[in-house]
Chains A and B, each alone.
Chain A
Amino acid sequence: MKLPKIRELLEAIKALIVGPYTSKFPYKPHIPHPNFRGQPIYNPDKCVGCLACEEVCPSEAIGHEDITDDSEPRRLMIHYTDTCIFCGSCEAACIADNEGIKQSNDWELSFFDRKEAQETIEKELQLCEICGEVIACKDHLKWISEKIGELAYSSPSLYFSRLKSLGIIDENIISAVRDSGRSDRVKILCARCRRETTLTTR
């Protein structure tokens, strides 16, 4: 009976000297281990706006909104930090070498208003030159043409996006090409318009 008591007394004395085990948070910040999987953050320079992350997210914590009604069509990639479960699926699925969205070490996510619990980035959108339908983000088309190399020259939408982004062609050259017959095909088009222009004999 005595021995256990002495042992526990030692523990108690130790606790008195060392002080409480609990941390001083929020007075002192808590910095987690570098391996910690915290809130994912978009990298607007790397992300191409392909929506793969939205597709795989198990908790529907990623959404997007396409704004096409003003002069700068753009896609908002929205990450809802309140529903995110920090699983890392988005990072694992990201086509931009897993760098478009990356889990950070950040874990402090309290908000007074739930509407604030979201982070957005903007990506420029490419619209169909005939019908104005969303094709993809400009960076995404560039990404595809880089990925498939010279095969991109089989699709005007792809090679125009690519050449434009490289600054090799500008609007004037495109309009010059357009004038030499079948100008309707020499455009950046959505899949439906491309099919229609190909099938019609104008």
Chain B
Amino acid sequence: MPKSVIPIGPYHPLQEEPEFFTLTVDGETVVDIDVQVGYNHRGIEKLSERRTFDQSTFVIERICGICSTSHPFAYTRAVEDIIPVEVPERAKYIRTIIAEGERIHSHLLWLGLAGHFLGYNTLYMWVWKLREEILDVMEILSGNRNNYAMFKPGGVRRDIKSEDIPLVIKKIDSIVPTLDRLKKAILDDPVLHARLKGIGILTREDAIDYGALGPTSRASGVAKDVRKDAPYGAYDKVEWDMIVTETGDVFEKVIVRVLEVYESIKIMKTCLLNLPEGEIDLNIKDIPPGEGIGSAEAPRGETFHYVRSDGTNRPARHKVRAPTFMNLPTFKVTVIGETISDATIILAAIDPCYCCTERMAVRNTKGKKIYHGQDLIRLSQEKTEHIKRKMGIK
């Protein structure tokens, strides 16, 4: 049977971001997959190198609308690594609170989208309604629902007022019963079990080989989490568990994310209740020449930043590596062998974020000729000439 190729994208109503998948299918089964990204390249690293260290945080924050804390977190840690300094305790706690709030809303957002892909639109609306609560919490804590503008090299920009804490805790607590119901609705639903169990399996070995990160690797039994492996912020000061499951199919990826929301709620609450007193900012004036690295566990896995300073007030080099960069290649093992109808949810299961990933775009056309507008006109004119010649018209 001849194989067919299904192109998805680069601009597709199903996808929020431009990316291009080429699925080669044999009947219903996917036999090969190719992903092209780079449609959303914005030159963020260069932009960041044109701003001062302090201003860069705002550009970095806008790498991704969802991980708008993870990137600044990794970036500020990289800058602090150059000096090197430790930020004040209170700043560490506030950073942790914001980062966990982001994880909750990011996982809920993904859960809603996953429901939508599967045709569970009620789940979609229900989860996003729940997410509003946490966005309100973020608005109270940081002043914004997204792009919190909280981080700066050396600390945080805004303190958490003690009078806001009871309201925030009440709001966080109020999402737990709904989350419980949601968890049960997912776990008891036989259709979801039938639909998600055993598809898109990423084995433990493959997860290690591909260097998968975050929930993608933890669902495959690889206990990898920067928050535990190299604790930063206040993660070593609060009690929490890393969620690791065994099989690595899409269902487990859902479970890992749902359970991680509970852990994040736990971390957030503990930090809010034990917020130490003190300074929130070191007021760093100069960054000496040198290099620094910083990482943070984003909702999708480890975000990594490298910053080099030449002693001026701007980064001389800034490199960003987003988690999706590592998770994307796992499609090669998860999608191949599955049916086309399962491909969407498997592709979505790593919670991909393409705009985070697009640091550089290289087009390898493998010797294929690219026709520009002028070439097409020339070809068209040549064809007319050719027909004229055949018909004997001068």
Instruction: Please give the residue numbers on chain A whose beta carbons come within 8 Å of chain B beta carbons, in ascending order.
Output: 1, 3-4, 7-8, 11, 21, 32-33, 35-37, 56, 58-59, 85-89, 92, 103
Evaluate whether A37 and B184 lie within 8 angstroms (CB atoms) in the complex, with A89-B55, A92-B157 already known: no
Question: Cβ of B149: which chain A residues have Cβ within 8 Å of it?
Answer: 37, 85-88
Stretch at the interface among B138-146, B255-263, B340-348: B138-146
Stretch at the interface among B86-94, B185-193, B284-292, B331-339: B185-193
Nearest CB of A to B195, in Å: 15
B188 & A59 in contact (Cβ 8 Å cutoff)? no
Contact of A33 among B139, B185, B188 (CB under 8 A): B139
CA distance A85 to B140 in the complex (A): 18
- Minimal Cβ-Cβ distance residue in B for A37: B143
Contact of B143 among A1, A11, A36, A85 (CB under 8 A): A36
Question: Cβ of B59: which chain A residues have Cβ within 8 Å of it?
Answer: 58
Nearest CB of A to B190, in Å: 6
**Inter-chain pairs besides A37-B144, A56-B55, A58-B59, 18 sampled, C-beta below 8 Å:** A4-B184, A4-B185, A7-B185, A8-B122, A11-B126, A32-B139, A33-B136, A35-B139, A35-B164, A36-B139, A37-B142, A37-B149, A58-B55, A58-B58, A85-B149, A86-B144, A87-B149, A89-B55
Q: Count of chain B residues with Cβ under 8 Å from any Cβ of A?
A: 29
B58 & A87 in contact (Cβ 8 Å cutoff)? yes
Instruction: Please count the residue pairs between chain A and chain B whose beta carbons lie under 8 angstroms apart in the complex.
Output: 58
B189 & A85 in contact (Cβ 8 Å cutoff)? no
| B54 in the interface (beta carbon within 8 A) | yes
CA distance A166 to B190 in the complex (A): 82
- Minimal Cβ-Cβ distance residue in A for B188: A4
| B181 in the interface (beta carbon within 8 A) | yes
Nearest CB of B to A18, in Å: 11
CA distance A59 to B59 in the complex (A): 9
CA distance A37 to B142 in the complex (A): 8
Interface residues of B in 101-143 (CB under 8 A from A): 122, 126, 129, 132, 136, 139-143
Contact of B190 among A1, A21, A56, A58 (CB under 8 A): A1
Nearest CB of A to B176, in Å: 16
| B147 in the interface (beta carbon within 8 A) | yes
